Amino acid sequence: MNIKEAKQQIKNAIIAYSTKDEFGNAMIPVSKQRPVFLVGAPGIGKTAIMEQIAQELDIALVSYSMTHHTRQSALGLPFIVDKKYGDENYRVSEYTMSEIIASIYDAMESTHKDSGILFLDEINCISETLAPSMLQFLQYKTFGRHQVPEGWIVVTAGNPPEYNN
């Protein structure tokens, strides 16, 4: 597939995932939406394609290179809260919001756009400690308790294995 065809396929997926019925519900429920995966050699313009698509569809874009993310920056940092279970008080770990999810809300505020693309580049280069959480994220669009807002599509990209040494 060439770049022009790939760009059109991604646009088609975004349009399909964003289409709503007469009641304002997604025609393809969020639970059935799957990320788009773009593969290509470094420097061929994967990020540029995403920028063009976001501009053409008038939606926001949040782009992350996953090679620098750790489990903590993706999932959030732990903190201790007091909770009561029955008659007993306990100290329990909870997590702050993911840096990635928070950046979507930042983009929504700064652009005044409710929908957009979360572009996760170099997804095949994530650390081993992040891999289980990333698999959960790709299936359910959540990091911990925090979910990608409705109207946001996840697009991932990676390089062929020969470029990942």
Q: What is the pLDDT of residues 106-128, one digit of tens each?
A: 999 999 999 999 999 998 888 88
Q: Read off the pTM.
A: 0.86
How many CB atoms within 10 Å of residue 54? 22
Contacts of 84 (CB under 8 A, 6+ apart): 90
Does domain 3-163 match CATH 3.40.50?
yes
Average pLDDT of the residues of the chain: 89
154: amino acid identity, one letter: V
User: Per-residue pLDDT for 47 more than 70?
Assistant: yes
- Confidence class for position 52, pLDDT limits 50, 70, 90: very high
* The token pair that represents 150 in the structure block: 């409705």
Residue 9 φ then ψ, to 5°: -60, -40
- How far apart (Å, rounded) are the C-alpha atoms in residues 108 and 114? 6
* The token pair that represents 98 in the structure block: 């993911």
